[in-house]
Structure 1
């Protein structure tokens, strides 16, 4: 081995670049202690680089080999358009000069970084989470990470050909800390994005999740082995060896780490599972390692959340939605509980993890039919600081020898699964029907409870009210023995891959004193939606818990012929005698159907038409204003304009701003009250509806100032059903522009009402429709295209008159729409009163 070269570089302005640190073929053995944060590799060292020449030298340390980048790469990393980079070069003489690299112009990355360091990102263009004062150089440093693909994010080394591998050794090296500044959410988004799809290949999403969790487990449980794995990845990149060999090494190291931590280990298990991965390149594996390097050990729950949103096309969901786990824990687990909690179908351990986080002192056990998921759960819970005894189980655990009884069971068994019935099966009540195992699971859970124990079991809706005689008898047995305490009907779309409706059954161990009633609850509010998945909000969870606690403390409060509704949750306790009259149905829909039925007719006047008086008056006033409208023939022909008019492109009338990306919008969390995030569905009758608008936390709006709405802004649907418009009024001041929308802000000298009018005219709408249809498979239109639409521009006084006339007509439409809606509500209320006997027709005459 040749002697290592030590570089002494004064550290002032720090730009991370690659500096040759030893002769080719050598290895850096150590680095000068005055060089902080340097990371050692074969042939190269990543170290802080000072662009200021050291004392006694006429020039700074040179970069060897020099890193070069194209205009496109610079624009991507800096988060600007390619035109912006071209403008920088044209307008600023001090912008770095391009270098000829085989016929293509490229720029020195170190020179570009130095130039961009003086250019701050304007406040209106900062991304969410970017601090004030961030420069374009900061963006580039964050974006340029070794291990990404050459064509999109990797700088090229001057003088090398595409086939040269020496530079690849540096690019693919795995060093810690390259993603400093990235949030956990950003890292997870990358892990479950294109990078994850490349590594996953044709393997199941669960195998990829196992890989990421295993790497995290190795990273936090065996740092020495993790460092060795870095060398393995470097060697694989250096030799361009078969990635499957690297995969096998990863599997072996994970198994060794499991054994060292006292977890069940099989030397070939992980290697066999990972063999199904799609032949990932060593570069991609290196990037995954870098991202795992910066994740905290408590991230397993967030991993599962991303996984459940990512794995939406591979059949039934493999995990329980996080918000449902939070509801179950809130209902069944208290901090400091010292109980034995068991999950007989543990999936990826999300229930056990939730229990550990909620209580901390519980004894956890679980089993599952999928041994890979059990192994995953063990590592995830151990990473979070807990311990669980997980054993590979069977799809039919009721046939196995009974395990130790549990004080609490929480589980989400497979919905409507089927299995054969064996003559030697024993059942707590009766044999369940063969067409599904729903009641096999329910009986198994009850039989596994210790005396006085409780259980929360997620079941499909059909289990609560099926017509099968055997299932009806089983429900009767459960009610007669007092094992059913409560049922919660959950909103649809809670499980990301499917719209299947589910319920949570709250059960008691047989022998517990039977209750006289069963509490039925239904979550039916708007809640929160992320993508296509419904999420239970904190308010909804708190309300369900409050209803249950109130009923346990004072049953009479929720017992009666009608239900009580709180904040989007309806509740009613139903006597067992009434349940028997309904065929022992446990479907909340059968017992909460009257949640909107009135209990008294006090709100209906003797003459119901009086309930419409305000809407009638508003409609009449709007009609009167419209009646005053008069128009005269213009002194022009079609295609011509009156004197003083002109035709101009839309961009000369207003500023155009597209809404945020889908990725940005998905990061925003919903809240019951907050700023409105306007969506296309909220644009009705050229106004913004406030009752359908999504609400987000105001503190999440950092970096989104350019999407803020003002009174009289015009909103335009730019994707999908292109063309609908709306005008923002004072009530929406400060709200945010949503995805798929465009904001038009009128220039001085342009009346916003006229802008709305001219864009809603047939000529403009026809032009917009044609251009949108010709753009892509999904109709859409860009700001530049819409900005080129040529429109008539009358003098401001005429604009204001046109705007006022059409505003009056819009107000008439809105007033009559409100009148029709009020009449429809009145009709529904009267139907409720009359058909329940609370009012009679004689009382109305």
Structure 2
């Protein structure tokens, strides 16, 4: 799901009747989309509600409503008067004359208009973290969840004085009572309610210096590609799991491909609250248990694998030492000078922690294993130690593909990012003679004034290029790429360009001889318009950052 966490106001009326049936044309009319969009949803998403029969086929309106409530309308498709964050479910519900489902409507209120009253002096990110846990308990056990939480706090409060100290008087009983009286509804609505608070919590946590949530569209590219090129994975790992968003996205992608396997799942979270949220996230979305440890953190808050001389194990005792699929969005920055080089640095010394993470990821892959690591764009072309590590990885056959993503996908930062797709070197057959480069920097659409997101079609394009290239390799055919979007480049050519892994350089190099065929006036105008949008978005992000700095200055009386 994409969006800023804002939600459209509910309309008046009641929920969709449980026995109401709707046809595909009715769904399109109520959701205010064209008829082919409904067929596209059915084809793309395994979790889309199944028809219940009829000729033409009919669907339960309540199930369709719950599913559409998880799909945010892109900013460029909003109708006049619709706020950012409107979902197709809001439209569908309004067409039926109904309101948001009970639990989703409640958490939108508790995490929004009611938050300041209920949290008192508690920081907003702390309040949202607690609320997330309470909602999880309610989803897990609607009959006993809130009663159990209340009993737990009744026992804990006299001993630790914790609940009374953190929450304003009366707030906890009100929260428990309100949640306890609200039906959970369908699985789709439960997930939408949980995700709504999760997004709000992570956005606020990031403002206070915490880790960013991986944008859903980026998670879908990473997970969708790995699920397609490495089917049947037995063991999946995220060494910097944040709140489990990439692991959830991977299981979503496996389900969409029709996979029935249940891989072993493990990861490490950067803090105890994030570890709990990641475990809950996997439970709510897939009913899966996972082993999630806590990452080793230095005294100054740095998280990097080299803090362990041999790198942290990927699971508890008894788990495999390597995994079939690894996907992660690790932190980046300058590598500490007082940490000794770990044993897995096979490709060169790391002067920045992203090159520690990338070498650690490769070292933990099983034969025929695959990894997707989100990297800052600068890592693809920086000189010095960075070039040495890139050279070692490329010449060992560890790098399969690099995808450049559009700017402004993350909140509060305009750092450009790439996805590096890696393989275990020295196993799983002969390394590919080429590396595939995909330049998706021109894709995406504005979802807020300062943030972009990839559409379903954008995600399909990016994943499709990597999958097509991979399929051609395994099938013995050739893949020449798509002009202006992708291009396979030989290893000697990469070496000749300073081991640069920047897709922009390889897909759209400067010079008339390599210009994209057919780039006429219309395409040129479109590219200029996109550049104008990117520049405007960057200006807005600078203004937002300035406002945030002023907020912090005022907070400390400066």
> Could you say whether these structures have the same fold, taking a TM-score greater than 0.5 normalized by the shorter chain as the test?
yes
Partner of 1:514: 431
- Of the three residues 475, 478, 488, the one matched with 2:393 is 478
Partner of 1:732: none
- Of the three residues 122, 127, 137, the one matched with 1:208 is 127
After superposition, give the CA deviation of every residue in 1:578-625 in whole Å (9 maximum; x if it has no partner). Answer: 111111111112212338956699989xxxxxx99xxxxxxxxxxxxx
Question: Separation in 2 of the partners of 1:602 and 1:464?
Answer: 26
CA pair 547-316 structure 1, distance change in 2 beyond 3 A: same
After superposition, give the CA deviation of every residue in 1:164-213 in whole Å (9 maximum; x if it has no partner). Answer: xxxxxxxxxxxxxxxx8546654443233232344456655553343123
SS for the counterpart of 2:191 is coil
Question: Separation in 2 of the partners of 1:206 and 1:601?
Answer: 47
Question: Separation in 2 of the partners of 1:195 and 1:211?
Answer: 14
After superposition, give the CA deviation of every residue in 1:457-503 in whole Å (9 maximum; x if it has no partner). Answer: 00111111112x21111111001100000001111111112111111
**Structure 2 residue 204 is matched with structure 1 residue 286:** no
- Of the three residues 207, 210, 217, the one matched with 2:136 is 217
Partner of 2:289: 387
SS for the counterpart of 1:572 is strand
CA pair 457-203 structure 1, distance change in 2 beyond 3 A: farther
Would you say the 8 A contact 1:344–1:368 is kept in 2?
A: yes
TM-score by length of 1: 0.43
Would you say the 8 A contact 2:243–2:278 is kept in 1?
A: yes
Would you say the 8 A contact 2:508–2:514 is kept in 1?
A: no
Question: Separation in 2 of the partners of 1:495 and 1:526?
Answer: 15
Partner of 2:379: 463
Question: Separation in 2 of the partners of 1:132 and 1:428?
Answer: 59
TM-score by length of 2: 0.63
SS for the counterpart of 1:564 is coil
Select the structure that is richer in helix. 2
After superposition, give the CA deviation of every residue in 1:769-793 in whole Å (9 maximum; x if it has no partner). Answer: xxxxxxxxxxxxxxxxxxxxxxxxx
Partner of 2:368: 452
- Of the three residues 495, 520, 523, the one matched with 2:440 is 523
Partner of 2:264: 363
Partner of 1:536: 454
C-alpha displacement at 1:410, in angstroms? 0.4
**Structure 2 residue 115 is matched with structure 1 residue 196:** yes
Output aligned runs, 1:250-649, within 5 Å: 277=166, 279-283=167-171, 286-287=174-175, 290=178, 293-295=182-184, 296-299=189-192, 300-311=194-205, 313-315=207-209, 317-334=211-228, 337-359=232-254, 361-384=262-285, 385-394=287-296, 395-398=303-306, 399=308, 400-403=311-314, 404-416=321-333, 418-423=335-340, 425-430=342-347, 432-434=349-351, 436-467=352-383, 469-512=384-427, 513-531=430-448, 532-554=450-472, 558-559=479-480, 564-565=483-484, 570-594=485-509
Q: Return the index of the structure with the highest Cα Rg.
A: 1
Would you say the 8 A contact 1:301–1:350 is kept in 2?
A: no
CA pair 287-577 structure 1, distance change in 2 beyond 3 A: same
Structure 2: stretches of 5+ with no match in the other structure: 1-12, 15-79, 83-89, 256-261, 297-302, 315-320, 522-528, 534-558
Taking CA–CA contacts closer than 8 Å with sequence separation of 6 or more, which of the two structures ends up with the larger relative contact order?
A: 2
C-alpha displacement at 1:551, in angstroms? 1.8
Question: Separation in 1 of the partners of 2:108 and 2:510?
Answer: 41
SS for the counterpart of 2:509 is helix
Question: Separation in 1 of the partners of 2:164 and 2:322?
Answer: 38
SS for the counterpart of 1:416 is coil
Question: Separation in 1 of the partners of 2:126 and 2:105?
Answer: 22
C-alpha displacement at 1:426, in angstroms? 1.7
CA pair 281-358 structure 1, distance change in 2 beyond 3 A: farther
C-alpha displacement at 1:221, in angstroms? 3.3
Question: Separation in 1 of the partners of 2:518 and 2:348?
Answer: 52
CA pair 250-211 structure 1, distance change in 2 beyond 3 A: farther
More displaced, 516-525 or 393-402? 393-402
CA pair 407-200 structure 1, distance change in 2 beyond 3 A: farther
SS for the counterpart of 2:432 is coil
CA pair 224-186 structure 1, distance change in 2 beyond 3 A: closer
CA pair 553-424 structure 1, distance change in 2 beyond 3 A: closer
Question: Separation in 2 of the partners of 1:547 and 1:250?
Answer: 56
C-alpha displacement at 1:509, in angstroms? 0.8
CA pair 381-490 structure 1, distance change in 2 beyond 3 A: same
Output aligned runs, 1:119-138, within 5 Å: 131=94
After superposition, give the CA deviation of every residue in 1:296-329 in whole Å (9 maximum; x if it has no partner). Answer: 4434444433444555633364321111111111
Would you say the 8 A contact 2:225–2:467 is kept in 1?
A: no
Would you say the 8 A contact 2:119–2:171 is kept in 1?
A: no
